[in-house]
Amino acid sequence: MVLAQILLNGILLGGLYGLMALGMALVWGVLNIVNLAHGALIMLGGYVVYYIFVFTGLDPFAAIAVAMVIMFGVGFLLQYGLLNLIVRSALLNTLLITFGLDVVITYLAQFLFTADFRTINPSYAGANFSAFGLTVPGIRFAAFVVAIALAAALWWLLNRRPLGLAIRATSQNLVAARLYGVDPRILYAVTFGIGTALAGAAGGLYGMIANLTPYIGASLTAKSFVIAIIGGLTNPFNVILGGIVVGIAESLATLYFGATYSDVVSFGLLVLVLVVRPTRTLRAA
């Protein structure tokens, strides 16, 4: 029974992990940018949700929707004004500039929001319910549902909407996409905006489950990176699945080895995947 409970916790946490990685995988797959500032954008989204919640009293889940719109704008402008300069350049350039961006966002956040721990704490924060003899924490369950819903929305956009077709087309063949009238600068900005909006949603959910500080970005980037590699870059549901795999592994590691080993496990999983199925992951990357 303890094991079942741990598995459930891992799955619920994994859904959120998957959502964290979703934006990174999208940007990586389409723009070929490994965005080292992705975790910082998650952090920023968390603070946006926190301040909307604190100042307006809006329900955090509604605040997440508002924050996604704001974060879309932030991402659009970042890509259009800055990252479009390096979008087709060498990998090192994209790593350098996004690493710089990570530092700037982190210290801007420290300056604006202070280094104090913040938690998004609605009245129902501690609520939970029972199912099949297991305790289901309400917020984590809701976060899991939101993650699945956003992955489904992204899948629908990419596979059923003209904009999504253009995004996939551009990632597969830039020359042909340009020949058929896609303006890559705008398209890249929209794609990065979507990725940032997803990061913002993940940040809001993270802030309801854990503490927000300006310094969470780097470790969230690392986790997102691992999950994007495991889940691949093309199918949103696979990314969520990758998140669940990591979530379960971390929960089991916490149970058997202690919480300090959870990061070891997620990166160990990355090494394992690269050793066992390198072709699939390389093709994705």
Question: How far, in Å, CA of 151 to CA of 148, rounded?
Answer: 5
Identify which of residues 4 and 183 has a Cβ nearer to another protein in the complex: 183
Q: How far is the CB of 122 from another protein (least distance, A)?
A: 42
Following DSSP, what letter does each residue of 216-267 receive, concatenated? -HHHHHHHHHHHHHHH-SS-HHHHHHHHHHHHHHHHHHHHHT-GGGHHHHHH
Closest separation in Å from C-beta 29 to another protein: 11
Q: Indicate the residue among 185 and 277 with the shorter CB distance to another protein.
A: 185
In terms of CB distance, is 133 or 162 closer to another protein?
162
By the criterion CB under 8 A, which residues form the site for another protein?
A: 162, 165-166, 168-169, 172-173, 175-183, 234
Residue 27 Cβ, how far from another protein at the closest point, in Å? 18
Of 110 and 173, which CB lies nearer to another protein in the complex structure?
A: 173
Q: At closest approach, how far in Å is the CB of 111 from another protein?
A: 41
